[in-house]
């Protein structure tokens, strides 16, 4: 079943794959660069893309966003193209996404036009995936037209880059507009603050040169002049004091330092020296009374008077210099005091002036900063770049990406195998019959003595052979659902006779080997207590116990044993109809004492098998009492002295009580169950209703096993070896 359902599913998958429309997937690859490009060596207005996963995922969402899809639709004019029927693959994908998606299905929009529908459909159909942990992004689009698939994939990459450029440009433009407005305000503030400084200076008569006010400069200048004036006054006072000191001592004033520096005085002294030399020469030559000497003395006196006058002039000059220096010092000191008073008054105004100047300087610095930033952003607006680039453009694919016919067939096959396995498992769980020996041994606690293959396949003329034994999936599938005798081949009387004697007709067949295993199992079940009287029973009719009883007895007789087969199925004496159809008396008459044992025993001439028939009697109603009587037990005791094996065939245990009555008088009970057919609860009920069955039950025979199918349930020995070594199960002696 699993194989057939898997084959049918694969066939359906192949048919489905063949009628699917092929679609093509094109891929365009982007590199999202997270490094900020700073071309003009200034801080950018638009920040770069972050390196974290959330930033990259945001970029992926931007690629598949509505705005980018709308750009693609407008660029390729997709809304002007005729609406194509959605492919089955896309329909299946949408169905799967709707089933497994946690988000609620979008509500249909009443006023949605064709362009919006096209954009939304395109945004949903585009595939944007990141390659592992890299910054490389694949943009894939699937279409029935390979050229269109490549165009859409490339258009998404291009329009995303254009959208990023426009977004960066828009941000930069807005920043420039804001900076321009701000610069206008700052320019006004700078002008107002500088004007306030100048007006304050004018109002307070503050004049600044070289970074300081005029009052400060005057104070500094007067300080310097006052220092110099005081130095000159002190110097003049020192000179005057020296001159007065020399004068008081009666010394020569001309020897004073300033007198030596006088050219007139030096000239007079030189002239006086010459006159003295000349006077000395004249006096030595002419005497003191000579007119020349007298004239020279007069000249010397005149020169001396001139020197004295010059000394007085120098003394007067020293006094005048002292007065001038003192006066100048006092004047400068007075001016300095006056200027300091003015500077003190201007100091309070300068405090306010400094505040105004600082405010003007701050406004000017802020204005210059904004002006510099405005120039930078203006350059960035001209040199705007993108953080992403296309590293591989999509080309029209040459081979379809879907449907993957091989994968569909494989998937359909796997689903079919899974479905078949599920159905098989369900049937196994619902099946009440026996399919394996493990089931019997686990439920009943006794061994399976033999598994008898289906005997009708061993009939002469049934076409048994290697070719006929090959697996046929259709007959196999039909056999899986076969239950009971309704679907079995109807057998005529000749076929039933042949099956009952199959061990003789086919001594080397697998059926005969199974019967031989049954005989060995019974013989060695209890070596210490030989089991001569064996009762073959079944829970329900049609289990094949009579056929097995006949073949078991024939096999034992052919082995040289003395065998008696007793037909005690008084309701349906199958063995009697096969071996002694003309018998008038049998086991019932023997138990009633109407006939002697020798009169009812029938011998099979071909095998030497003895048969105790049981012709049907309609007037007999108390069969169970008769079979369970002391006479029956005495009869078995008597017969066991003459035979090595007594095979008893009786009625089914569950519907008739005859078989239950015989359990107490036989040595061994062998239960026959039909493979796949006998219900487990029927066997359980039959054994529970048969008192003493637990102690007498030697084992179970699984009958009517189809070897070709039983091997799927367990390692079926006879069926396996009949295929492995056919020359051992050839069917001919």
| pLDDT tens column, 188-205 | 888 888 888 788 777 776
Q: What is the pLDDT of residue 27?
A: 92
C-alpha angle 668-650-590 in degrees, rounded to nearest 5: 100
Q: pLDDT band for position 110 (50/70/90)?
A: very low
Q: pLDDT band for position 575 (50/70/90)?
A: very high
Q: pLDDT band for position 733 (50/70/90)?
A: very low
pLDDT tops 50 at residue 474: no
Supply the mean pLDDT for the chain: 78
CA distance 469 to 465: 6
pLDDT tops 80 at residue 339: no
pLDDT tops 70 at residue 462: no
Which parts of 503-581 are beta strand (E)?
533-538, 563-568
Q: Which of 12-26, 161-175, 298-312, 639-653 has the lowest mean pLDDT?
A: 298-312
Rounded to an integer, the average pLDDT of 266-287 is 78
Q: pLDDT band for position 384 (50/70/90)?
A: low
List, edge to edge, every strand of the sheet that includes 24-32. Answer: 127-130, 136-143, 24-32, 388-392
The residue among 609 and 309 whose pLDDT is bigger is: 609
Q: What is the pLDDT of residue 90?
A: 54
CA distance 510 to 148: 69
Cα 475 off chain centre by: 48
Cβ contact 25:149 at 8 Å: yes
What are residue 448's DSSP bridge partners? 700
Q: Which of 80-89, 320-329, 460-469 has the lowest mean pLDDT?
A: 460-469
Q: What is the pLDDT of residue 714?
A: 58
Q: In whole angstroms, how far apart are CA 485 and each of 460, 461, 490, 540? A: 21, 21, 9, 12
Which structure tokens are listed for 714?
């367990």
Rounded to an integer, the average pLDDT of 335-353 is 68
pLDDT tops 70 at residue 730: no
CA distance 34 to 54: 13
Q: pLDDT band for position 251 (50/70/90)?
A: low
Fill in the DSSP letter of residue 513. H
Q: What is the pLDDT of residue 36?
A: 54
C-alpha angle 627-630-634 in degrees, rounded to nearest 5: 100
Which structure tokens are listed for 135?
């910054």
pLDDT digits (tens, 9 = 90+) for 144-160: 899 999 999 999 999 98
Rounded to an integer, the average pLDDT of 279-307 is 79
Q: pLDDT band for position 332 (50/70/90)?
A: confident
What are residue 565's DSSP bridge partners? 611, 647
Cβ contact 18:487 at 8 Å: no
* HEC sequence for 5-57: HHHHHHHHHHHHHHCCCCEEEEEEEEEECCCCCCCCCCCCCCCCCCCCHHHHH
Q: What is the pLDDT of residue 467?
A: 34
pLDDT tops 60 at residue 491: no
pLDDT tops 90 at residue 712: no
Rounded to an integer, the average pLDDT of 599-608 is 89
Is beta strand 388-392 parallel, antiparallel or unpaired with respect to 24-32? antiparallel
CA distance 623 to 723: 46
Burial (CB count within 10 angstroms: exposed 0-12, middle 13-18, buried 19+), residue 398: exposed
Rounded to an integer, the average pLDDT of 259-268 is 64
Q: pLDDT band for position 619 (50/70/90)?
A: confident
Cβ contact 30:139 at 8 Å: yes
Fill in the DSSP letter of residue 144. S
Residue with tokens 């060695």: 524
Q: pLDDT band for position 410 (50/70/90)?
A: very high
pLDDT tops 50 at residue 252: yes
Q: pLDDT band for position 602 (50/70/90)?
A: very high
Closest among 506, 515, 569, 552 to 646, alpha carbons compared = 552
Percent of the chain whose pLDDT exceeds 70: 77
Which contiguous run of DSSP H or E holds residue 697?
strand 697-705
Q: In whole angstroms, how far apart are CA 561 and each of 452, 615, 642, 709? A: 22, 26, 11, 35
Cis peptide leading into residue 267 (ω within 30°): no
* HEC sequence for 86-99: CCHHHHHHHHHHHH
Q: pLDDT band for position 269 (50/70/90)?
A: confident
3-state secondary structure of 441: helix
3-state secondary structure of 562: coil
Q: Which of 124-133, 251-260, 484-493, 566-575 has the lowest mean pLDDT?
A: 484-493
pLDDT tops 90 at residue 611: yes
pLDDT digits (tens, 9 = 90+) for 521-532: 998 888 778 889
3-state secondary structure of 202: helix
Q: What is the pLDDT of residue 84?
A: 47
pLDDT tops 80 at residue 33: no
Which structure tokens are listed for 180?
């321009």
Q: pLDDT band for position 516 (50/70/90)?
A: very high
DSSP notation for 74-143 = HHHTGGGSPPPPPPHHHHHHHHHHHHH-SSPPPPPPTT--HHHHHHHHHHHH-EEEE-TTSSEEEEEEEE
Is beta strand 533-538 parallel, antiparallel or unpaired with respect to 645-650? parallel
Q: pLDDT band for position 366 (50/70/90)?
A: confident
Closest among 537, 551, 553, 452 to 496, alpha carbons compared = 551
Rounded to an integer, the average pLDDT of 58-68 is 88
């Amino acid at each position: 079943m699993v194989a057939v359902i898997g084959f049918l599913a694969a066939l359906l998958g192949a048919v489905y794959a063949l009628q699917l429309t092929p679609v093509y997937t094109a891929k365009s690859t982007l590199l999202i660069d997270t490094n900020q490009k700073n071309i003009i060596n200034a801080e950018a207005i638009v920040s770069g893309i972050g390196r974290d996963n959330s930033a990259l995922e945001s970029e992926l969402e931007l690629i598949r966003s509505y705005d980018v899809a709308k750009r693609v639709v407008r660029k390729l004019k997709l809304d002007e193209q005729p609406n194509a029927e959605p492919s089955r693959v896309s329909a299946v994908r949408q169905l799967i996404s709707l089933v497994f998606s946690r988000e609620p299905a979008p509500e249909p929009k009443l006023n949605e036009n064709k362009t919006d529908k096209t954009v939304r459909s395109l945004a949903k159909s585009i595939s944007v995936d990141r390659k592992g942990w890299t910054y490389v992004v694949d943009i894939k689009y699937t279409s029935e037209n390979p050229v269109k698939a490549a165009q859409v994939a490339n258009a998404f990459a291009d329009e995303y880059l254009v959208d990023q450029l426009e977004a960066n440009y828009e941000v930069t433009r807005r920043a420039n507009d804001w900076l321009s407005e701000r610069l206008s305000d700052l320019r006004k503030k700078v002008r107002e603050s500088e004007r306030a400084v100048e007006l304050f200076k004018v109002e307070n008569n503050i004049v600044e040169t070289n970074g300081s006010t005029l009052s400060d400069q005057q104070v500094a200048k007067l300080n310097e002049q006052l220092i110099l004036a005081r130095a000159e006054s002190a110097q003049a006072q020192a000179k005057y004091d020296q001159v007065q000191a020399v004068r008081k001592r009666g010394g020569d004033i001309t020897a004073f330092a300033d007198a030596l520096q006088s050219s007139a005085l030096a000239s007079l002294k030189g002239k006086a020296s010459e006159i003295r030399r000349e006077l000395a020469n004249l006096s030595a030559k002419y005497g003191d009374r000579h007119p020349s000497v007298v004239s020279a003395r007069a000249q010397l006196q005149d020169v001396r008077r001139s020197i004295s006058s010059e000394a007085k002039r120098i003394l007067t000059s020293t006094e005048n210099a002292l007065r001038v220096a003192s006066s100048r010092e006092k004047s400068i000191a007075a001016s300095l005091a006056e200027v300091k008073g003015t500077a003190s008054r201007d100091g309070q105004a300068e405090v306010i002036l400094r505040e105004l100047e600082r405010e003007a300087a701050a406004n000017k610095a802020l204005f210059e900063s904004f002006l510099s930033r405005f120039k930078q952003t203006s350059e960035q607006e001209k040199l705007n770049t993108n953080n992403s680039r296309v590293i591989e453009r999509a080309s029209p694919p040459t081979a379809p990406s879907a449907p993957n016919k091989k994968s569909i067939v494989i998937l359909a096959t796997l689903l079919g195998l899974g479905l078949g396995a599920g159905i098989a498992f369900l049937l196994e769980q619902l099946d009440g019959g026996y399919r394996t020996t493990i089931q019997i041994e686990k439920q009943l606690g006794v061994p399976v003595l033999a598994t008898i293959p289906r005997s009708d396949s061993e009939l002469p003329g049934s076409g048994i052979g290697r070719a006929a034994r090959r697996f046929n999936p259709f007959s196999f599938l039909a056999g899986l659902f076969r239950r009971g005798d309704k679907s079995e081949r109807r057998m005529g009387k000749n076929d039933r006779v042949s099956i009952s004697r199959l061990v003789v007709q086919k001594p080397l067949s697998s059926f005969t080997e199974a019967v031989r295993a049954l005989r060995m199992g019974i013989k060695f079940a209890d070596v210490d207590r030989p089991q001569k009287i064996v009762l073959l029973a079944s829970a329900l009719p049609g289990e094949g116990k009579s056929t097995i009883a006949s073949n078991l007895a024939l096999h034992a007789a052919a082995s040289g044993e003395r065998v008696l087969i007793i037909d005690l199925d008084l309701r349906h004496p199958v063995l009697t109809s096969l071996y002694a159809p003309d018998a008038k008396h049998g086991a019932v008459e023997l138990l009633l004492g109407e006939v002697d044992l020798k009169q009812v025993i029938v011998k099979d001439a071909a095998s030497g098998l003895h048969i105790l028939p049981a012709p049907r009697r309609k007037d007999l109603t108390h069969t169970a009492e008769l079979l369970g009587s002391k006479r029956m037990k005495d009869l078995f005791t008597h017969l066991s002295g003459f035979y090595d094996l007594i095979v008893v065939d009786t009625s089914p245990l569950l519907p008739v009580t005859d078989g239950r009555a015989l359990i107490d008088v036989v040595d061994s009970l062998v239960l026959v169950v039909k493979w796949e057919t006998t219900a487990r609860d029927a066997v359980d009920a039959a054994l529970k209703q048969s008192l003493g069955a637990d102690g007498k039950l030697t084992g179970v025979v699984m009958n009517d096993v189809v070897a070709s199918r039983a091997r799927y349930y367990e390692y079926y020995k006879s069926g396996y070896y009949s295929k492995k070594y056919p020359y051992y199960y050839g069917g001919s002696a």
